[in-house]
């Protein structure tokens, strides 16, 4: 039996029949509760959001890094002797 934190709150919402059946079947197959299945799904969704935000941040940072590298290269060439 799963022990839930005292900070849990009851929730009531409607699911389409296919979703309700999936949750029930998944819980039965895993030997867990429907609540645990929903929490697992929400954790996956949360992780996907974090990964999307990280990818956006890395892409933005990469553009900034390319601009910095180009300007640093130009500045460095100004100080190099011509041979």
Q: How far is CA 83 from CA 4, 27, 58, 80, in A?
A: 73, 73, 39, 9
Residue 75 has pLDDT above 90, yes or no: no
66 vs 78: CA distance, rounded Å: 19
pTM metric for this prediction: 0.64
Q: What is the mean pLDDT of the chain?
A: 88
Closest of 18, 34, 16 to residue 26, by C-alpha: 34
């Amino acid at each position: 039996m799963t022990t839930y934190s005292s900070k849990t709150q009851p929730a009531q919402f409607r699911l389409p029949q296919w979703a309700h059946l999936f949750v029930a079947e998944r819980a039965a197959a895993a030997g867990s509760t429907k609540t645990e299945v929903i929490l697992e799904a929400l954790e996956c969704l949360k992780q996907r959001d974090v990964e999307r935000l990280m990818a956006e941040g890395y892409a933005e940072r990469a553009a900034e890094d390319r601009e910095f590298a180009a300007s640093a290269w130009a500045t460095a060439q100004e100080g190099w002797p011509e041979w």
